[in-house]
A = this chain, B = another copy of it.
Amino acid sequence: MKHEIDLKKYAIRTDLVVDLLASKEMEGITVQEEQIKGVHVTDVRVKEENNGLGKKKGRYVTIDFQDVTDKKNAMEVEDAFVKYLKEFLEEEKISFDQKALVIGLGNDDSTPDSLGPKAVKQVLVTKYLFDMEEVNPSSDYRNVASFIPGVMAMTGYESSDIISSLISIGKPDFILVIDALASSAISRVNKTIQISNTGILPGSGIGNKRKELSKETLGIPVISIGVPTVIDAIVLVSDTIQYLLKHFSYHKDFFGKNKLAPVTSIDTSNYEKELSEEEKETLLGEVGQLSEEELQELIFEVLTPIGYHMVVTPKEVDFVVSKLGTIIANGINRTLHKNFDN
């Protein structure tokens, strides 16, 4: 298989930096990890524009968690989110008298895409009270505005154009943007919040007209908050085949054979010893010898012409997105205002 690989043209979205970390060398990158109760935080700083991740210079914090429909878990996630969101504001040297604009990207009528709108509706907005001079400058409230620009297929307008206008009108000092993301790994769906200061590409744009929302394009600091709520079917299949190989490797080492022995209930997904190329061929033939990118390209070729290049979401998406929207809104309120009792 010698043809060139250009995964980008297959439009498999990879919005999460941690997805890339796993499979790449790290040049110009520092990674710190922190465990806060049941929540795992990966704090990646990309220090140079040209780096192994192909990602923009900046900070990417990933908060990983389990089921947020459990109240205790949800509170732990909210606390970790507040801790790191406050750090982003500090790093951007944003003071309490500076004005925030909170943007919820996505489409409120499509559950997996409704995270942004759901969160923004719960953010405490005070801008009009400041405009009417009804807020004491020494109060516990920051000047906060919010907006849900909608999706281009429904409005005809680019989100970035609308947000530029809102900046002209309201003169905010910084922007928080919330969006649902696509994941390139099964394990992240609805189980990760990523915070970054490098900007965001609105997910619902059409074709190559999507314009970035970032400090470079908008002129003020942009802190983005994203949760992967969907996954490409291609990634689902490709991930599973990778897990298959790890499963074989584990079984070979522990049971003295590379047979497909049925031993359920052992998590082999983190087994690090890889099979040899020969073993891979025995087990998965030519397919076993493909790189992850080649495999995804192949699956793309097979699924696309028959119309099954689906983007999917777990069945429980309604409950999880609703809960995550509340966690993010509460976290933003606690970060932007003082003494916020939720």
Residues of A within 8 A of B (CB): 1, 3, 71, 108-113, 121, 125-128, 131-132, 144-148, 150, 152-157, 161-162, 165-166, 168-170, 186-187, 189, 206-207, 209, 230-231, 233, 236-237, 239-241, 243-244, 247, 259-269, 280-288, 290, 294, 297-306, 308, 310-319, 341-342
Given A150-B148, A282-B286, A297-B262, A306 and B269 contact (CB-CB distance below 8 Å): yes
> Which residues does chain B contribute within 8 Å of A304, judged by CB atoms?
264-265
A241 to B269, CA, bound (A): 20
Interface SS of chain A: helix, strand, loop or mixed? helix
* Interface CB pairs A-B, < 8 A, 25: A127-B156, A128-B152, A131-B156, A131-B209, A145-B156, A146-B156, A148-B150, A157-B170, A162-B162, A162-B165, A186-B233, A189-B310, A239-B308, A240-B303, A243-B306, A260-B286, A267-B306, A268-B302, A280-B285, A284-B284, A285-B285, A285-B287, A310-B314, A311-B314, A313-B317
Whether A162 contacts B169 by the Cβ 8 Å rule is: yes
Known: A1-B259, A127-B155, A244-B302. 20 other contacts (CB 8 A): A110-B318, A111-B111, A121-B154, A126-B156, A132-B206, A132-B209, A145-B156, A148-B150, A156-B170, A187-B306, A187-B308, A237-B237, A240-B302, A260-B290, A268-B306, A282-B285, A311-B314, A313-B313, A313-B314, A313-B317
Find chain B residues with CB under 8 A from A71 CB: 341-342
